[in-house]
Each structure stands twice: as C-alpha cells, then as structure tokens.
Structure 1
C-alpha cells in the first residue's frame, strides 16, 4: 500500500508501512493527522503515534505497531530499507 515518511527534525526521518495492522490484507491505508505525529486508519479508526523508531498503537482495534523501515541520509539523499 505504500510507505509514509515522517520528518521529526532537519535530518531525522522515519518510515512506516501505510497498511493498517488491523487490516493487513486490505487496500485501505493509514493517513497522517495534519501537523501531528499521529497516523490513523479511516476504515477501522485505529490510531498510531510515531515515536523515535516506532508507530505504536494509540487507540484500537489494532493491537500491533506499523511495520517500520530503516532510513538514512547519504549525499543529501534519503534511503529507506528493510
């Protein structure tokens, strides 16, 4: 379904799977609440809070964090890996 990239600082990026952990085989994707570090699923209402390296469940019915990806910057390029 894609990846959401969250920038917490000038050179700090976090990347997470957009597929809600409650509906892992569905095509619905989490969205970011504008101006916040909260992701939400419009289908089930689950909310996730982005911390240092995790998108933890803030409100269910989901009970698992979103899959996270490694990020790093090299020569002014952002890389995202498993």
Structure 2
C-alpha cells in the first residue's frame, strides 16, 4: 500500500512557535521615525523573537516575525534589514528575504512568518 502526502502551501515553516500577537503602534510616533517613509522599517519587541514592521506606502504595512524560518531558535541572531536597506538577512545562516518576506537566498526555503496588519487613524494594529 502506498500513501501519498501533499505539501501544505499554508505551512509557515517548521519550528516557529505560535505565540499570541496583539500590538498597536502609532506610525507617527517619534519612536518610529523610519515608518514615515516608504521602505522604512521599525523593530518591536513582540512575537516569538521580535517583529519587523516595513512601510510599503502610507496606507500599507507588513509585519514579519524576526525568527528565521531556517533555524528559529538560533541564539546568534534574528532577521534584520541589511545595511544596504535593500533586503532582510539572517546573520547566522545568511538567508536573505525581500521586503515582502519571500526568500531570495537560502538556506531558508520558507518565507518569513507574516502577521496581519491594519491601519486606522495612524494606529497600526498587528495580530495573528
């Protein structure tokens, strides 16, 4: 008897714990000056290993888990914006991701875990 299994395309990747996320920040806060510019970003202490928020436009933001899907428990680092400000990288394994969270260089094969975002009156809500 042969049993076939299919890959689940909604699989966020192996090993990233599902922790509750319910955050809100003011995108106009002096604490987050980079969020006033398209392509700007900010780090917040939430999620499993932290969250990076990236502004696409004044009305569109992404929020990603900073734990690398290749090795979420790596103690040597988290995903951060590269010095070039062109992509995200994990300092330990060298995986790279674009600002939409997709893998552009491995060894990671899964994209970054993305959290839901919504904007109302300059308050950005981040949740899972």
TM range (shorter): 0.7 to 0.9
How many residue pairs get aligned? The number is 78
Structure 2 portions without partners, runs of 5+: 1-48
Deviation at 1:9, TM superposition (A): 1.0
Structure 1 portions without partners, runs of 5+: none
Within the candidate set 21, 31, 53, 1:5 is matched to 53
Deviation at 1:20, TM superposition (A): 0.6
Max Rg structure: 2
SS in 2 for 1:50: coil
TM-score by length of 2: 0.57
Aligned to 1:60: 106
* Runs of 4+ displaced beyond 6 Å: none
Q: Say which structure is richer in strand.
A: 1
Query: Whole-Å Cα distance in 2 between the matches of residues 39 and 75 of structure 1?
Result: 28
